[in-house]
Structure 1
Amino acid sequence: MLSPTLRLPRPDQVLDRRSTLSTVDADEAQKTIEDLFCAHRLTPLDPGGRVDLTLRSATTASVGVHLLDYGADVRISPRALENFFLVQMPLQGRATMDCGNETIKSDARLATLPPIDRDFSMVWEAGTPQLILYASLPAMEEAARRLFGAELAAGLRLGHSLDLKSPSGQALLRAAFELHDALNSADSAAAPYALKLLEEAVLQRWLLAVPNNVSLALGQWDGGQATTAAGSGTNTASSAATARLVKRFTELLERHSAEDVMVSELAEALGVPLRTLQAAVSAETGSTPMALLRTSRLLRARRMLQECEPNEQSVTMIAQDCGFAHLGRFAQAYYAAFGELPSATLRS
């Protein structure tokens, strides 16, 4: 069954549990966004020079989610971003980005990714609130090294647009929404392991959704159509070698099932790029390494629920210990896997 197409949320749904920063002063709006991102020139296009800034933000050490709305027609002229990447997704309305000879008109289907190596200019029309993903350059380059198994001779460079309705665009949105929900949770802050898993998913799917100089050089760019590594362009190993790799991966999962392991760490332990491991798991099982790790984490949670006393730990504590940042999603996945809610297992 095909998954339903993910749609962008309404502006009022984005980080609605976070504080909102607002201002109608253009100079203050420019200073606020400079402190958050980078130096730029903000030019209101309304004759009265007005803006009506709305900003909500939530970040980890490496990634972030932001809602930004200028509330008026504005031109934004930044310097090259240099040390971070953005995906800018209009929730409604339209925006235009000019960089060099390239002009990209974005809307709720097409996102823009500003360049990090050159100055650029954008025009956001009034009524164009944007959902913005942020990733630091070091985190993205480390994710690219692990994903593609290649050292970066030159700096990482990404394409400047992203079709959010493409399969890989949808995969990125799915990961971004899970990160958003964890950062926006009214519950206690997500455990470090849960956040690491969410960060890794966002960075990997970002790299698979947008052409970049690493995937293009390795012949691993598929036009954003694949959400796994099938057809990744790596040398095809024999089916026996593929089966051995998957067997070693599942053995590692079992051996380290009680630890806070990451798929990228297991791929490194096996001595292969993550893309190679993804292709092998897809060929052998039709699944993904991340899905197998998720199953391992659910089994770990079940063991913990069965072994502890109800007054010793809560379902929330165990879910977070096993890398699940969102209690509702954990309960749904647990019920699908075991036919009962985690609270029922804890009480039994």
Structure 2
Amino acid sequence: MHTPLLGQRSEVFHLADPHAVSQYVNQHVGNHCIQLPRASRPLAHLSHRSFAELDLCRLGYGAAVRVVSPALERFFHLQVLLHGHCLWRHGREAHYLAPGELLLINPDEPVDLTYSADCEKFIVKVPVRLLDGLCQQQRWALPAAGVRFGQQRYRLDQLPSLVSLLGMVCQEAEEACTPPRVQAHYTQIIASKLLELTNVVPLTGDEPPMNFERVVEHIDRHLGQDLAPEALAQVAQVSVRSLYGLFERNASATPAQYIRQRRLARIHACLGDPTCKVRSLSELAMDHGFMHLGRFAEQYRKQFGELPSETLKRRRDGLARNG
């Protein structure tokens, strides 16, 4: 990466005890714990600047290290991997990050990152209140689940304007004379750039009345068919981006999540109705667009608290008792 992200002018630690560096990070960047190899004698380094509401940090621990945190709570973290490699454990999945990749961490998510000995990273700590405040300032609707990054991994070449902006902010942060109003201006631009990567959808004001009702009626009439976002956007007479905002505001879900909920509800109603013919659960699931039967059964159980086979068995048991 050619854009400078903090330098020696911001240096706080050089060839230092990693635990001292970790303690400093806990105070300024985010609550966490580190796990180091017992036999290692690592020498860590850290540069740090506060800039308006942001904290900028560049660090390396000098040894393979695992960083864990229950959650960042009131902050988002933007992390750029500058050197080395990183293993990101996210739920049941694990992803390897290489130099030149960017990771966006939501405030309510557990953090579990393992860095190689030669790893160096750059972190931006962004308060939740900054993104929430910008939403309110622009009169955009805050999602019911709060502002969140959906896609969390990017290559830096996918976000060139954001990377250039971060470089400019670091340069301004290292200038002692940067006025507070200029710092605030830069942070607002960064917040706007980050909101473009979240579930927040600006209200366009061009959405026709009743468009949500129109599109959900279309969905209910065509549950067994492919319901692509592009086709639904045409039904609602909005852009695909506005379609996602429409569902977030009215159903607290993405279009795909809503469609899955409606398909599962239709199957549940059919399995519980003695007049609805069911030749097999597999056929019923596939008729409603579920090609992976194991995943279908798990999603059904999560929504209704029982497996589809249990719903069907209860119906058959009821029919047997009633003769």
Identify if the C-alpha distance between structure 1 residues 165 and 196 changes in structure 2 by more than 3 Å, giving closer, same or farther.
Answer: same
Give 2:200's aligned residue: 214
Structure 1, unaligned stretches of length 5 or more? 1-6, 219-230, 236-348
Contact map agreement 1:20 1:55 (CA 8 A) in 2: yes
Structure 2, unaligned stretches of length 5 or more? 205-238, 244-323
Give 1:189's aligned residue: 177
Give 1:79's aligned residue: 70
Contact map agreement 1:74 1:124 (CA 8 A) in 2: yes
Deviates more, 1:199-208 or 1:153-162: 153-162
Aligned match for 1:156, one of 147, 152, 166: 147
2:33 paired with 1:41: yes
Q: Which structure is larger by alpha-carbon Rg, 1 or 2?
A: 2
Identify if the C-alpha distance between structure 1 residues 146 and 101 changes in structure 2 by more than 3 Å, giving closer, same or farther.
Answer: farther
> Superposition RMSD on alpha carbons, in Å?
2.8
> Aligned-pair distance for 1:158?
1.4
2:9 paired with 1:21: no
Identify if the C-alpha distance between structure 1 residues 195 and 29 changes in structure 2 by more than 3 Å, giving closer, same or farther.
Answer: closer
Q: TM-score, normalised by structure 1?
A: 0.54
> Aligned-pair distance for 1:136?
0.8
Pairing 1:252-267 to 2, within 5 Å after superposition:
none
Distance 2:40 2:106 in 1: 27
Distance 1:96 1:190 in 2: 37
What SS is found at the alignment partner of 1:189? coil
Aligned match for 2:193, one of 193, 198, 205: 205
Distance 1:22 1:189 in 2: 25
Identify if the C-alpha distance between structure 1 residues 234 and 155 changes in structure 2 by more than 3 Å, giving closer, same or farther.
Answer: closer
Contact map agreement 1:71 1:126 (CA 8 A) in 2: yes
What SS is found at the alignment partner of 2:83? coil
Aligned length: 209
> Aligned-pair distance for 1:84?
0.7
Distance 1:158 1:147 in 2: 19
What SS is found at the alignment partner of 2:8? coil
Letter in 1 for 2:119: T
> Aligned-pair distance for 1:15?
3.1
Distance 1:63 1:101 in 2: 31
Give aligned-pair identity as a percent.
18
Distance 2:161 2:240 in 1: 17
> Aligned-pair distance for 1:88?
0.9
> Aligned-pair distance for 1:125?
0.5
Identify if the C-alpha distance between structure 1 residues 93 and 148 changes in structure 2 by more than 3 Å, giving closer, same or farther.
Answer: farther
Pairing 1:321-336 to 2, within 5 Å after superposition:
none
Distance 2:136 2:87 in 1: 32
Contact map agreement 1:89 1:132 (CA 8 A) in 2: yes
Distance 1:64 1:145 in 2: 23
> Aligned-pair distance for 1:175?
1.4
What SS is found at the alignment partner of 2:172? helix
Distance 2:63 2:125 in 1: 23
2:163 paired with 1:173: yes
Identify if the C-alpha distance between structure 1 residues 71 and 149 changes in structure 2 by more than 3 Å, giving closer, same or farther.
Answer: same
Give 1:31's aligned residue: 23
Give 1:320's aligned residue: none
2:43 paired with 1:52: yes
Pairing 1:90-101 to 2, within 5 Å after superposition:
90-101=81-92
Q: TM-score, normalised by structure 2?
A: 0.58
Contact map agreement 2:70 2:109 (CA 8 A) in 1: yes
